Structure 1
């Protein structure tokens, strides 16, 4: 916030930085876990270049990358609420913090419950996406 001010740009940068690490770590870890036999088998059948990536490596990495996306979205959502509490004039976090200044416990509880419901909806949607996008990875 020191470099970008309290406008929306600083929040966007903060959210990008908070969500990038879990997603990047999941992508790197899952790409290293692709069995060499799977890649060599595809190469022996003639897969090269983008076909090797699209038909072997990406499907092998997809479940872990989507799980990393789920983690990144959770971290980003909590960072968004915290950023709204620190430097904002609108949003759910600001509403809860502003209501606490005036001892409006009804607004505080409503905001907290609403944030929880939004988080559950986002997480359920991502779990559904993971099940639909990678049905072969059920465990």
Structure 2
């Protein structure tokens, strides 16, 4: 029953947003966003690799435990079931279908940011990112050399 309300709300929001004129972001802002996003994703990958390297000895030693071997066989059995494979196919298809909607929403939000927030708060946000956030991230998760 709640799903019906959620779908109705989403449709109502889509209609109300489609009636509004959402400004397009400038190419400069989109390029800046894409550059920051790619840098952030590379930082995430550095952190992921560090965690994976740190967890590798624990995972190897856990494989010798009887309880963990039971969990491992359970997970392997679940992966072989057709229901689990169908769920994985459904979720991957859903992400492929939702990707254009996410891109459109991202561009709309960038356009709204550029029109309403950037004139008043853009310089302070840029200063915060460059002077505070980037140096902190450089110590925690440096950008890999390209």
Of the two, which has the highest radius of gyration?
Answer: 2
**Higher percent of residues as helix:** 2
- Asked if Structure 1 and Structure 2 have the same fold, meaning a TM-score greater than 0.5 normalized by the shorter chain, the answer is no
TM-score relative to the length of structure 1: 0.30
TM-score relative to the length of structure 2: 0.29
